[in-house]
């Protein structure tokens, strides 16, 4: 439970109040649980052999595969119970401030498939290795390496680490991962060491060997695990121009968006053209548009940069004889003026300097200098901005 809560609240807390991100973060502990569950399953599977109880199990009235299934089910139950408690805690935490919507079960099922599949792998290893330490060690470390190396969202997609409202879990991808987990369970039960002395043992081994690469191919064929979602019919927008429209699930950001819209209205009059509406990514259909903003890990810095870029694009000179500067007109002065204006506008709209956890920026721009400029009187800032607007105009129009 401490690992679950640490994975939930130790990494970040920006997901609180948004059902999509809450569901994703509730799934994240499965990344840490799966290797532990694999090690535990390996230790449990070898316990009968270490305790010399195999002869009693062989003489039991019930088929041996049932005892293997019961053993694996007990291990999986422990893992899913801890996983489920973390899900409930995440839901309870988000409920008071959450906007419209509901928890997304698809992300939670993705995490459950990861746990069950690696518990089955650990059980398989443990049934062949009787050691107290070798089987659990190989299962735990091997599972961790496997998940971290090939389980990433961009490879086999065994888990996800973030989930924006414009994305959803692909049903074919989720189905494939659940089926692979079920196959691993069957392999752990019917291809275990204790059943290799029974009839059709060679057939079972050959079937598992044949289906393992098929399973990997199925995971690759159904990736990416996240796909674009249909646009919301009723986005949530700020009240006055410029309007900032968000997915309904991102309603908790409306107050901050309202403040940002107010700061855009306070930009120096006559220097900039402000678009009438800004949209969160996905609200205008699939595909990426340069002027659609994206909320990265709860920070509105990225949207502020998108708003600034949209304002600069709308404010570009477009009269007769004006065109995007190229050749000799693409001077260092033009690039510097554009980049400095972009950073200044971003900071103005955001309401302060660039956050410490957001790195990078246009080349040749002193962010600290522009942060200091924000503390200057409005007339000083307006003059500074107008000088750069005129430099851009000269580059466009000669």
Q: Residues, the chain, total?
A: 398
Q: What is the distance between the alpha carbons of residues 226 and 5, in angstroms, rounded to a whole number?
A: 25
247: helix, strand or coil: coil
DSSP bridge partners of 243: 277
Reduced to 3 states, what is the DSSP secondary structure of residue 243?
strand
Backbone dihedral angles phi then psi of residue 98, each to the nearest 5 degrees: -70, 145
Nearest to 175 by CA among 218, 127, 115, 124: 218
Q: Check if the beta carbon of residue 305 is closer than 8 Å to that of residue 342.
A: yes
In three-state secondary structure terms, 236 is strand
* CB burial of residue 336 (10 Å; 0-12, 13-18, 19+): middle
In which residue are the tokens 């004889």 written? 321
The CA distances from residue 222 to 151, 158, 165, 170, 228, in Å, are 13, 11, 21, 8, 14
Distance between CA 75 and CA 276 in Å, rounded? 57
Q: How far apart are the C-alpha atoms of 389 and 345, rounded to whole Å?
A: 12
What is the distance between the alpha carbons of residues 285 and 280, in angstroms, rounded to a whole number?
11
Q: Specify whether the CB–CB gap between 170 and 225 falls below 8 A.
A: yes
Q: What is the pLDDT along the chain (398 residues), one digit of tens a residue?
A: 777 777 778 778 888 889 999 999 999 999 999 999 999 998 887 775 555 555 555 545 456 667 778 889 999 999 999 999 999 999 999 988 887 888 899 999 999 999 999 999 998 888 877 777 888 899 999 999 999 999 998 889 999 998 889 999 999 999 999 999 999 998 888 766 555 555 555 666 666 666 778 888 889 899 999 999 888 788 999 998 899 999 999 999 999 999 999 999 999 988 899 999 999 999 987 767 788 999 988 899 999 999 999 999 999 888 888 888 887 777 888 889 999 999 999 999 999 888 877 777 788 788 889 989 999 999 999 999 999 999 999 888 87
| Domain ranges, ordered by start, for the chain | 2-228, 236-397
* Residue 305: alpha-carbon gap to chain centroid: 21
C-alpha span between 367 and 105 (Å, rounded) = 43
DSSP three-state, residue 245? strand
Judged by DSSP in three states, 185 sits in helix
The reported pLDDT for the residue numbered 104 is: 92
CA distance 33 to 348: 43
DSSP state of 148: H
At residue 376, the 3 state secondary structure works out as: coil
CA angle 46, 48, 49 (to 5 degrees): 70
pTM: 0.85
Return the pLDDT at 126.
Answer: 84
Question: Any residues with CB less than 8 A from the CB of 69 and at least 6 apart, and which?
Answer: 189
* Neighbouring C-alpha atoms within 13 Å toward the C-beta of 223: 17
pLDDT given at position 128: 76
> Which pLDDT score is estimated for 193?
58
Give me the residue label for tokens 């007109």: 329
């Amino acid at each position: 439970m401490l690992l679950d809560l640490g994975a939930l609240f130790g990494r970040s807390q920006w997901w609180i109040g948004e059902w999509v991100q809450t569901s994703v973060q509730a799934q994240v502990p499965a990344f840490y649980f799966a290797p532990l569950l694999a090690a535990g399953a390996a230790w449990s599977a070898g316990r009968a052999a270490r305790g010399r109880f195999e002869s009693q199990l062989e003489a039991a009235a019930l088929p041996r595969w049932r005892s293997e299934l019961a053993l694996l089910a007990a291990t999986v139950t422990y893992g899913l119970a801890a996983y489920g408690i973390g899900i409930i805690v995440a839901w309870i935490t988000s409920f008071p401030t959450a906007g419209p919507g509901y928890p997304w079960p698809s992300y939670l099922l993705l995490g459950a498939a990861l746990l069950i599949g690696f518990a089955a792998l650990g059980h398989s290893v443990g049934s062949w290795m009787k050691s107290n330490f070798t089987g659990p060690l190989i299962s735990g470390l091997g599972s961790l390496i496997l998940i971290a190396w090939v389980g990433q969202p961009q490879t086999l997609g065994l888990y996800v680490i973030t989930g924006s409202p414009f994305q959803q879990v692909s049903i074919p991808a989720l189905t494939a991962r659940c089926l692979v987990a079920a196959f691993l369970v069957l392999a752990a039960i019917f291809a275990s060491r204790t059943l290799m002395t029974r009839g059709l043992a060679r057939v079972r081994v050959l079937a598992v060997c044949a289906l393992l690469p098929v399973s990997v191919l199925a995971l690759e064929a159904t990736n990416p695990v996240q796909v674009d979602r249909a646009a919301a019919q009723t986005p949530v927008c700020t009240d006055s121009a410029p309007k900032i429209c968000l997915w309904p699930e991102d309603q908790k950001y409306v107050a901050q968006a309202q403040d940002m819209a107010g700061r855009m209205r306070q930009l120096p009059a006559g220097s900039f053209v402000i678009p009438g509406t800004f949209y969160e990514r996905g609200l205008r259909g699939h595909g990426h548009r340069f002027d659609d903003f994206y909320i990265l890990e709860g920070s509105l810095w990225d949207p502020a940069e998108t708003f600034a870029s949209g304002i600069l694009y709308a404010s570009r000179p477009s009269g007769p004889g004006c065109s995007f500067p190229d050749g000799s007109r693409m001077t260092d002065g033009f690039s510097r003026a554009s980049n400095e204006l972009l950073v200044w506008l971003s900071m103005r709209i955001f309401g302060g300097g660039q956050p410490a956890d957001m790195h990078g920026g246009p080349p040749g721009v002193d962010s600290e200098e522009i942060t200091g400029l924000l503390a200057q009187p409005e007339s000083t800032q307006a003059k500074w901005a107008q000088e750069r607007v005129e430099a851009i105009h000269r580059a466009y129009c000669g």
